[in-house]
Structure formats: C-alpha cells, structure tokens
Amino acid sequence: MDGDLVDWAEIGSVGRMGRGIRLTDLNGPFRGSEAVGVGVLTATQLRSSAVRRVLQDIYVPAGIPDSHELRCEAAALAVHPGAVITGRSAATLRGVRLARAKDPVELVVPEAVRVFRRTGLDIRRTELCPGESEPWGAIGLATPLRMGLDLLLDRTLPDAVADLDAVLHAGLVDRVELRRMLAARHDRGIVAARRAEELADPRAESPPESRMRVWLTLDGLRPVPQYWIVDPRGRLACADLAFPEQQVAVEYDGSWREGELWALNRDRERLNRVQAAGWEVVFVTAPLLADPARMVATVRAALARH
C-alpha cells in the first residue's frame, strides 16, 4: 500500500481493536493510532488524502461526507467512557437538527472525571443521575429529559428558548417532567433555565421566530406565535408572530421553506391581500434580529401606527 492507495478491505479485516471498535470497511470514524499500530495503515498513509481527520487521532475515509452525527461517532472514540452526548448534539441525533456539521459535540461527564480541552468537543463536568442516559456506542446518549435540561443550562435566554421550542414542537420532551426536574435541581444557571422554560412555546416553527418572540416578550410585549390572518374569503397567511388587536404581523425574512404556500416574504399577491385587510407586516432580517433593541423599536413603531 503506497502513497494514497489504501486497501480498505484489508483494514476491514482487522476486526476489533482498542475499545471494541470494529473498523468494518472503514465506513465510519476510526483511531488513527490504532490503525497504524496494527500495521493496517502507515503514518504516511494516515497523512494522505485518502483519509480526513475529524478530531485529534480520529479519522474517516475521505469520501464520507461531514455531518454532526459523524462527529458524534468520532467523539465516542475520543472521550471517557462515562461521557454522555447531550444538548444540541443529542437533539440532532434524535432527529431535531439543532447542531450544524462542524459545531462542537456537546457532552457531559461525571464530576469525578477530569476534563481536558479538545478542539471540536464541548465537555462539561456535572452531576449525572442514574437513568439520565442510555448506551450509545462506547459512551452514552442523554435521555430526552436530560437533554432538555442541558439545552437550557449556561445558554443565552433567546438561544435556550429557541432550542427548547424546537424539541417541544417535535414532541421529544415532556414539559411537565422538565419543569419538575428544573424545580428540583440546583445547577449553576438553573434560575435562568427555569425562566427559559417559562418563555418556551411549542407552537414556534423556527429558531429566528423564537428569538424574535423572546426579545419582544422581554420588552413587555405579548406576540402570538403562528397566528392565522383571515379575511372574508378565508385564511390569508400564517404569521410567525402577530399582535391581533393592532393587526401587526412580524415575519422573519427567510424563515419560509421550499414549498411553503403561506410565505408572505415571497408571495406578493398574498401580502397585498393581508395589507388590504388592514394588517401591517414587519419583516425582520438577520441583521435586524442581531440588533435586538432596533428590532424591538421597529415592531413598537408599527404597533404605535395601529
């Protein structure tokens, strides 16, 4: 095996190595040091274009596309066996894609475990109670309830609410059980976590919508999520947020999905009908949302006009 040429079948035949990882056809992450140690790869081949490093000493064949799920698999080879994948990483593994491909993998470890900083991993030492995780490869995966807790701890309020909105919307977390857990715990940041749970709303359909709602609510306003605007002919559009009494709708400019029939930011005829029905629509762009004070002032100005 010279240069970039690697006999993947030979590597697959190595069998179990290290902590019980089977390098079957190298269709997933593997420890580079183990592959070199058993003579399947040379150090030169490990540095070649045939493989790609995901984490320190963790590699994948170059043809495997990057994803957060792949990085979670890589993390499982790199961390203490008592570690548990949680937070946005756990939500992504459970089907709610809160983490992007290159986001750090979020993990918690028991308080007795020493933590070393490692690029690509976000590890936090904390109390882990029995029943808060289930086996996932060589490590653990947080239960939905524990995942919900870690989505809220040590997060900004808008981000925490947005992520909790998403998992509540998907039905992953029992809100009553989560509220009971938050009331019983004393973690650092638990007061803010309780406030985030109070502000959460499972009707939200996108993180930007959730963040807009949080900033507006913190300023004393009470927007209604996912509000249907109607006229005598029936439904016109479902606004991200609405103030029905003032007939003001707030839409995140870019929140529509391909095939969305009710998107005001691309259906001008529908927008004209909404305006003809007496509604004003405030479109919030990403730069405007990044400036919460200006965003709130813009919405308040529209409310004042109505």
- Domain membership of residue 139 (yes or no) is no
- Domain membership of residue 14 (yes or no) is yes
177 and 234 in a common domain:
no
**Residue 64 CA from chain centroid, whole number:** 22
Q: What is the mean pLDDT of residues 255-277?
A: 67
Q: What is the mean pLDDT of residues 29-48?
A: 86
What pLDDT shows up at residue 255? 52
Q: Write out the two tokens for 75.
A: 């993390």
300 and 231 in a common domain:
yes
**Total number of domains in the chain:** 3
DSSP state of 54: E
How far apart are the C-alpha atoms of 272 and 281, rounded to whole Å?
A: 10
Contacts of 305 (CB under 8 A, 6+ apart): 280
Structural domain boundaries, residue 185: 153-202
* pLDDT tens digits for range 139-178: 999 999 999 999 999 999 999 999 999 999 999 999 999 9
13 and 58 in a common domain:
yes
How far apart are the C-alpha atoms of 203 and 175, rounded to whole Å?
A: 13
What pLDDT shows up at residue 253? 85
Among the residue ranges 6-10, 35-39, 128-132, the one predicted with the least confidence is 6-10
- Domain membership of residue 117 (yes or no) is no
Q: pLDDT confidence of 92, banded at 50, 70, 90?
A: very high
- Domain membership of residue 266 (yes or no) is yes
185 and 262 in a common domain:
no
Q: pLDDT confidence of 29, banded at 50, 70, 90?
A: very high
Q: CA dihedral in degrees (83, 86, 87, 89; nearest 10)?
A: 100
301 and 237 in a common domain:
yes
191 and 161 in a common domain:
yes
- The CATH code of the domain that includes 299 is 3.40.960.10
The backbone region for 250, taken as left when phi is positive above 0, alpha when psi lies in -120 to 50, beta otherwise, is: beta
- Domain membership of residue 170 (yes or no) is yes
What pLDDT shows up at residue 9? 39
Q: What is the mean pLDDT of residues 110-115?
A: 87
